[in-house]
């Protein structure tokens, strides 16, 4: 029998009962499990500091499994990541850590660079926060008479408007955003 197949079967046999049940139920791809364990072993061997930072034994593995539970295509990403793990100049520890700790980051994000990952993540968080702020503004407008320390609120609103105006100007000047009416 092919040694690779034997090694993969051993990984699956050694997986926890919970993981085996998830595979049987179709909630987790068996390839994610095997590639996750292989990624963990490569990080332990070639990047021991990162291995420790990510939680050591099972830390990397569990993070990779979490990605596999949330998104399709993670098995292929992990397979591609394995080829670069032995060469830190190809993929930095920061990039690998970002990939493993944030389930929404894809390998394609990593290939674009850590700066793009950080900016895209911050952009998503900002859009979510702005949506929540919009709802809070509506609530405050409806109950203005109950606002405690209105001058502090006005000061914070002014600061936020200034920063949002700076962001809008930067988007328009960069050509990435279009000016809204």
Cβ count within 10 A of residue 20 = 16
pLDDT number for residue 108: 82
Read off the pTM.
Answer: 0.60
Q: pLDDT value at position 159?
A: 93
Please name the helix (run of DSSP H) or strand (run of DSSP E) that holds residue 139, with its range, or none.
Answer: helix 114-142
pLDDT confidence of residue 179: 54
pLDDT score recorded for residue 117: 52
CB 7 within 8 A of CB 56: no
pLDDT of residue 118: 60
pLDDT on residue 167 = 87
pLDDT of residue 121: 61
Q: Quick check: 178 and 172 in contact, CB under 8 A?
A: yes
The reported pLDDT for the residue numbered 128 is 86
- CB neighbour class for 92 (10 Å; exposed up to 12, middle 13-18, buried from 19): middle
Q: Which parts of the chain have pLDDT scores under 50? A: 181
* Cα 34 to Cα 31: distance, rounded to the nearest angstrom: 5
């Amino acid at each position: 029998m092919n040694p690779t197949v034997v090694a993969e079967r051993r990984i699956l046999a050694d997986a926890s009962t919970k993981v085996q049940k998830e595979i049987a139920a179709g909630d987790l791809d068996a390839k994610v499990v095997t590639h996750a364990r292989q990624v963990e072993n490569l990080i332990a061997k070639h990047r021991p500091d990162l291995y420790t930072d990510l939680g050591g034994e099972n830390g990397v593995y569990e993070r990779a499994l979490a990605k596999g539970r949330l998104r399709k295509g993670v098995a292929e990403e992990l397979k591609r990541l394995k080829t670069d793990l032995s060469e830190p100049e190809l993929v930095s520890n920061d990039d690998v850590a970002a990939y493993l700790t944030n389930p929404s980051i894809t390998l394609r994000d990593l290939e674009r660079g850590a700066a793009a990952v950080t900016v895209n993540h911050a952009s998503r968080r900002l859009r979510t926060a702005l949506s929540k702020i919009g709802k809070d503004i509506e609530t405050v407008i409806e109950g203005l008479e109950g606002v405690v320390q209105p001058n502090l609120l006005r000061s914070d609103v002014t600061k936020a408007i200034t920063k949002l105006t700076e962001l809008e100007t930067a988007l328009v000047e960069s050509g990435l955003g279009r000016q809204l009416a």
